[in-house]
Amino acid sequence: MLARGGASVNVDDIVRDALREQAAEQPPAAAGFADRVLAVRRRRRTRRITAAAVSVVAVVAVGVAVPLLDSGKEDVRPSGGIVTPKKVESRPDQSPPRDRISVGGTTLAGYSVPKKVKKSANSAAYERTYYLLNPKTGRYAKAADWSWVAVAPGGKTAAVLERDLPASRIGLLDLTTGKVERWIDVDHGVGGLTFSRDGRKLVATTYSANPDRLIKAQGSAEWIQPWTSSRTGFYVLDVASGDGTWTEIKLAGDSDDPLRGTMLNSRQDFALTDD
């Protein structure tokens, strides 16, 4: 339970509700399409925790909560596959969770605990501490080395970025061993990652500055987003080979807009659609 100033929120209820909603919304899956990225639910859950607990530590689901189905388990895919009984493992006595949370065959692959870290007198950043599910032990293990994690469908592999963003390389992490199996070097600094629905492609959003940076509000001690985007483009990478192309994206401002399009979230990651 998280609480501050009389407001309280139960992290387990939030995670459990989100997983139930996701499992209920899943259509029958074809082979190779058993997995659904929960980026939208992650943002919704973050907002719910923030509204209820103000500035207390929030637990945020990361990467993917994976529907673990028999269909497609023999497909060639970078993350492999996991099959578990369709039962509820909610862990109401664990907050944040230490053991696997699963509802209806959909499993929470990991979560992060964000905090503000002061870098200098005038700058700070949101930094996340990740806890990732080890598919062999069924427990969440701390993964302190990574600033950003995206778990691949199947829950055995994750794409990771090192602590200083934007990063110059992308790691492919084996979630069973906790070791990086391979690095993908990039020419443009990466600040965010997301897998395609089948796990074969990886979208890496590039930035010229840390997308999680914070600045001092004018006339206040409060840390806020700069409301300007440093996003430069994105890669679409083939996970198996590491090959891909970079596409530049320029910030376009309306000529009638006095802010010239600068009133933006500092983090705006790209992702592939399900089509």
What is the SS3 assignment for 24? helix
pLDDT at 7 over 80: no
C-alpha–C-alpha distance, residues 122 and 19, integer Å: 39
Question: Which residue, chain included where needed, has tokens 């492609």?
Answer: 201
Compute φ and ψ for 130, nearest 5 degrees. Answer: -95, 145
pTM, two decimal places: 0.69
What per-residue confidence (pLDDT) applies to 73?
A: 38
Mean pLDDT, all residues of the chain: 75
C-alpha–C-alpha distance, residues 172 and 170, integer Å: 7
The structural domains of the chain, with segments of one domain joined by +, span 2-248
Residue 133 pairs in a beta bridge with 140
Question: How many residues in the chain?
Answer: 275
Distance of CA 4 to the CA centre of its chain: 26
**pLDDT tens digits along 124-177:** 999 999 999 999 999 999 999 999 999 999 899 999 999 999 999 999 999 999
